[in-house]
Amino acid sequence: MFVDTGSKATRSRPRSKPAIGIVALIGPTEEQVRQRAYEIYRARGTAPGNPDWDWQQAELELRARMSLLGKP
């Protein structure tokens, strides 16, 4: 709804938040994190490592990507 104030039309209610904020709140799915953690494991040549670190690294990367792109 627009209200005529004379020279310019303005909105009578505030705009909603952009979709990017919603995606950031949702975050990656468990399956996406699992897949990326496996890719990290494979990238180091399947050498023993720390699965918790791989998981956290995967989640961090996916959240950053989602934040930048605004989608999964």
pLDDT at residue number 34: 97
- For 35, which DSSP code? H
Query: Degrees (nearest 5) of the Cα angle 61, 65, 68?
Result: 140
Segment 13-42 mean pLDDT:
77
Instruction: Note the pLDDT of residue 23.
Output: 46
Instruction: Using pLDDT thresholds of 50, 70 and 90, give the confidence band for residue 42.
Output: very high
pTM beyond 0.85: the answer is no
Residues 6+ apart with CB under 8 A from 13: 1
Per-residue pLDDT, 68: 87
